[in-house]
Structures are given as structure tokens and as C-alpha cells.
């Protein structure tokens, strides 16, 4: 058996976006040297297994007992400013492209079989 090692990705939360099937997933990993959290955020949608990266590296100062609340407030502020609208549109566009590409390839393969 291959000896694989896991990577601890820290704390992960999902925050549903109001009145949509979307949610923002935030992964926060604590940096002991800098005494802060490095955060990555992703857009996700109900019933689709596809995470689309939003922010690659956010620095948030918080302690362990409040990091989830701090992340939720950060996401709420971005939502209220409308900053996730373009990511939701991009997400739907990418999924639509994948579905059309799969349909095209199935048609192409059925003609060559």
C-alpha cells in the first residue's frame, strides 16, 4: 500500500447565499508564525460537485474561538456589497459549458461508433 500523508486544511465552513442554491465555502489555515489565518474561498452550488475558487489567499486576524464568526461576517459583507454575483454567474456559465461540451462529445462519439 502507498504511504500517503494528509494535509490539514484547517477550519472549513459553508455559508449559504440567500435566495439561491449557492454557498460560499471558506477554508482557514492558521499560520503560527504570522499569528493569522490564511483563507481560501470557493463558490459551490447545491447538487453540483464543482468548487470554483473565489479568493486564493485572504489574510484574516482572528483567534480560534471566533474564526468561524469572523469568516461568516467577512462573507456577509462581500455578499451585501454584491461581490458574489459575478462568481455565481461565472459558476453557472462554466457548468453550462461543461454540459454542452459533454453533449457535443457524446454526439461526436456516437457518429464515429
Q: What distance in Å separates the CA atoms of residue 59 and residue 36, rounded to the nearest whole number? A: 7
Average pLDDT over residues 90-109: 90
Which structural domain, as residue segments, surrounds residue 20?
Answer: 11-112
CATH at 96? 3.90.70
Q: Which of 30, 31, 56 is nearest to 41 (CA)?
A: 56
pLDDT of residue 113: 62
Q: Is residue 37 part of a domain?
A: yes
| Pair 72, 15: CB distance under 8 Å | yes
Residue 4 within a domain: no
Domain membership flag for residue 19: yes
Q: Which three-class secondary structure state does DSSP give residue 44?
A: strand
State the SS3 of the chain.
CCCCCCCCCCEEEEEECCCCCEEEEEEEEEECCCCEEEEEEEEEECCEEEEEEEEEEEEECCCCCCHHHHHHHHHHHHHHCCCCHHHHHHHHHHHHHHHHHHHHHHHHHHHHC
pLDDT higher than threshold 70 for residue 57 = yes
Query: For 78-98, how does the pLDDT look when each residue is reduced to its tens digit (9 = 90+)?
Result: 999 999 999 999 999 999 999
| 48 part of a folded domain | yes
Query: Residue 7: pLDDT band by 50, 70, 90 thresholds?
Result: confident
For the chain, the domain total comes to 1
| CA 6 to chain CA mean position, Å | 20
- Say whether pLDDT at 72 is over 90: yes
In a domain, 1, yes or no: no
> Does 16 fall in a domain?
yes
Amino acid at each position: 500500500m502507498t504511504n500517503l500523508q494528509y494535509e490539514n486544511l484547517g477550519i472549513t465552513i459553508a455559508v449559504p447565499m440567500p435566495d439561491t442554491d449557492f454557498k460560499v465555502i471558506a477554508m482557514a489555515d492558521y499560520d503560527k508564525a504570522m499569528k493569522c489565518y490564511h483563507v481560501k474561498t470557493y463558490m459551490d452550488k447545491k447538487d453540483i460537485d464543482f468548487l470554483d475558487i473565489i479568493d486564493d489567499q485572504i489574510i484574516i486576524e482572528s483567534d480560534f474561538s471566533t474564526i468561524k464568526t469572523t469568516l461568516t461576517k467577512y462573507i456577509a459583507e462581500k455578499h451585501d456589497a454584491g461581490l458574489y454575483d459575478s462568481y455565481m454567474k461565472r459558476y453557472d456559465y462554466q457548468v453550462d459549458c461543461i454540459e454542452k461540451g459533454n453533449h457535443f462529445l457524446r454526439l461526436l462519439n456516437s457518429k464515429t461508433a
